[in-house]
Amino acid sequence: MSNPFREDLVSRTRPEACTVVIFGATGDLTHRKLVPALYNLALDGELPPGVKIIGFARREKSDEVFRQGLEELNRKVSRNGHDDQVWASFAPNIHYHQSEFTDDDGYKRLAETLDAIDRDRGGKGNRLFYIASAPEFFDDILSHLKKAGLNQAKEGCWSRVIVEKPFGTDLKTAQHLNRVVSQTFHERDTYRIDHYLGKETAQNLMVLRFANAIFEPLWNSRYIEQVQITCSENLGMEGGRGGYYDKSGALRDMVQNHLLQLLSLVAMEPPTDLSADGVRDEKVKVIRSLRKWDTPEKVAANVVRAQYIKGSVSGKVVPGYREEDRVDPESMTESYVALRLMIDTWRWSGVPFYIRVGKQLPKKATEISVHFKSPPGVLFNTTSMNATGGNVLAIRIQPDEGISLRMVSKIPGTSLRLEPVKMDFQYSTSFGKASPEAYERLLLDAIAGDATLFARRDEVEEAWKFIDCIEHAWHQEGSTVPMAEYVAGTWGPKEADDLLHEDGNSWRRL
C-alpha cells in the first residue's frame, strides 16, 4: 500500500523506519561521523520516526555510557550544533550490544533484540547493517550475520549492508569479500560506501555535465586536451595512521576508490536514466576502458611513486615517511602517486587523464580540472596565446566546494595583450546554507534504498584489476620501477612533473 501523503512532498526516495546496526561502534568513525550524521538527519527532520541504532562492539559498556560518549563527541563535531532537546529524544533510540565479532551467541542475542524492536515498531523489520569495523573482521561479521539469519529480510521488509572501505586490498581479496557479501546479501542490498561520492560537488558533476547544454558538446577529445585530478593532503602519519597506511599506500588507499570514482563521473557517457544501475553501468564502462599498465615498462613510463623526506609543512618541520611512527624504516610503500591514464573510448581517445595524490603536500585540496584545447593562434599574437593557455574548468571537491572557469581576456589598454581571468562559483558564497555531510546523504540514501552513490561489485573489481597491474609491477622481485622522493611541503617529486612535461603539459597550480 502506498502512502498518499508522500506524493509531491519531497523529491527524493523515501527513507523507511529501520534499525541501524553499527559494527565497530566504539571506533572513531561511529563517534565522529555516523552517529552525528544520523543526529543531524533527525535534527533536520529527514530521519523517519522509529529509527533505532544499535552499536555492536567488543568492549563492555552500558547503553548509558555508550550514549554519553556519543553525546560528548556530537557536541564537538555536529554540523548543526547540539540541541539538548533533540538529543534527549534521539538518544533513547541508541543501544549498545556487547559481543565479540566471532561469537555466535552475540549474534543470536542481536537477533532477539532486533525482533523485540520490530515488535515495538509494529512489525516493521527493516535492518541496515553498517560494517565499520577493522577490515579483518568483515568476513566474520558477514558470515555470522548469515548464520544468525539476519541477512534474511522479513516479508515486506528489507535487510541491507553498508561496507566501509577498504573493500579488499587487491582483486583477489575484493573478489573474496564480494563472494562473502553476495553469499550473505543480494547485490541490490549491498552498499559499498565511498564518502567522496556523497560530497555536493561530486554529485553536481553529473548536473554540470548533463543539465547544461554548453558543456556536453565540448566534453570530448576534440575540444579537451587533458584532465587532471588532484587530491593533496597536508598531513602525514599523525595519530598512528602509519600502521594502516604503510600496508596500503596512496594507490590502494585513494586511487582505487575515491579518485577512480571521480574519474568515472567525469568521463562517463550520459546514462539512460538516473537509476542506480543506469548511472553505475556507465561508470563501470569507464573503468573497464582504462588502458592497462600491465608491464613494468608501461608502469615506469606512466606511473610515478614517491615517498616524502624530511621537510616542513605549514611552517612545521616534519619527518620523512620512513621515519614516521609505525612505518617500516625500509618501507617501499608510496606516500605519493601520479598517474597518466588513457581511456580507450571514442570520446576520450588520445586525451590523457592525470591523477596525483599524496601526503605532506603544501595544502589540503581535491580538485578536478578540465583543460580545453587552445584556439588556433591565427588571430591573436601566438606568443601571448601560448603564455595564457586555454580555458580551464576547475571543479573543487574540497575545501571551498565550487566551480571556476578560466578564460582569456584582453587587458584594457591600447595594445592587444591577453591574460587569463576567472569566473568563479562557490557553494558557500552562492548558497549560504552548509551542505549536509557526505555521510548524512549516504546513510539516508541507504535507508531509502537508493544505491546510485555507492560502488557496485563490478566497479570495485574492475578498479582493482587496473590497480593490481601497477602494484604487481612495483612489488615483483627485482622491480625496476623506481621509488622517487619529494621534500615534505612541496608538490611532489620532479619525476611527476616530468610525466606531464613529456606531453607538453604541467600540473595545475593549486
Measured at the CA of 174, the angle between CA 168 and CA 177, to 5 degrees, comes to 95
- Closer residue to other proteins (CB): 448 or 481: 448
Q: Which residue has the cell 563527541?
A: 73
Q: Which of 62, 272, 295, 429 binds other proteins (CB under 8 A)?
A: 429
Active site residues: 258
- Closer residue to other proteins (CB): 60 or 155: 155
Q: Which of 112, 120, 323, 419 binds other proteins (CB under 8 A)?
A: 120
If DSSP codes are grouped into helix, strand and coil, which group holds residue 390?
Answer: coil
Q: Which three cell numbers stand for residue 204?
A: 553536481
Q: Which of 182, 295, 381, 428 binds other proteins (CB under 8 A)?
A: 428
| Interaction between residue 504 and other proteins (CB under 8 A) | no
| Interaction between residue 123 and other proteins (CB under 8 A) | yes
- Closer residue to other proteins (CB): 90 or 219: 90
152-171 binders of other proteins (CB under 8 A) = 156
| Interaction between residue 122 and other proteins (CB under 8 A) | yes
The answer to whether residues 99 and 141 touch, using CB atoms and an 8 Å cutoff, is no
Residue 239 buriedness (CB in 10 A; 0-12 / 13-18 / 19+): exposed
* Cβ neighbours for 369, distance < 8 A, ≥ 6 positions apart: 227, 228, 229, 230, 392, 393, 394, 395, 508
Q: Which of 31, 124, 144, 356 binds other proteins (CB under 8 A)?
A: 124
| Interaction between residue 412 and other proteins (CB under 8 A) | no
30-89 binders of other proteins (CB under 8 A) = 42-45, 48-50, 85-86, 89
- The CB-of-37 to other proteins minimum distance in angstroms stands at 17
Closest-CA residue to 287 (of 435, 118, 469, 59) = 469
| Interaction between residue 405 and other proteins (CB under 8 A) | no
* Cβ neighbours for 449, distance < 8 A, ≥ 6 positions apart: 13, 158, 160
| Interaction between residue 376 and other proteins (CB under 8 A) | no
Torsional sign, CA 34, 61, 165, 149: negative
For residue 343, list its beta bridge partners: 290
| Interaction between residue 430 and other proteins (CB under 8 A) | yes
Going by their DSSP bridges, the two strands 352-358 and 224-232 should be labelled as: parallel
3-state per-residue secondary structure call for 397-414: EECCCEEEEEEEEECCCC
Q: Radius of gyration over alpha carbons of the chain, in Å?
A: 24
- The CB-of-87 to other proteins minimum distance in angstroms stands at 10
Q: Which of 431, 482, 502, 503 binds other proteins (CB under 8 A)?
A: 431
Q: Cα 253 from chain centroid?
A: 10
- The CB-of-211 to other proteins minimum distance in angstroms stands at 14
Stretch that binds other proteins, among 207-215, 282-290, 335-343, 431-439 (CB under 8 A): 431-439
| Cα pseudo-dihedral 241, 232, 296, 484, rounded to 10 | -80
If DSSP codes are grouped into helix, strand and coil, which group holds residue 419?
Answer: strand
* Cβ neighbours for 238, distance < 8 A, ≥ 6 positions apart: none
- The CB-of-430 to other proteins minimum distance in angstroms stands at 5
- The CB-of-319 to other proteins minimum distance in angstroms stands at 31
Q: Which of 1, 207, 214, 379 binds other proteins (CB under 8 A)?
A: 1
| Interaction between residue 16 and other proteins (CB under 8 A) | yes
- The CB-of-159 to other proteins minimum distance in angstroms stands at 17
| Interaction between residue 217 and other proteins (CB under 8 A) | no
Q: Which three cell numbers stand for residue 231?
A: 587530491
Q: Total residues at the site for other proteins (CB under 8 A)?
A: 37
- The CB-of-86 to other proteins minimum distance in angstroms stands at 6
Going by their DSSP bridges, the two strands 392-398 and 402-410 should be labelled as: antiparallel
Note the residues at the interface with other proteins (CB under 8 A).
1, 3-11, 14, 16-17, 42-45, 48-50, 85-86, 89, 120-124, 156, 400, 426, 428-433
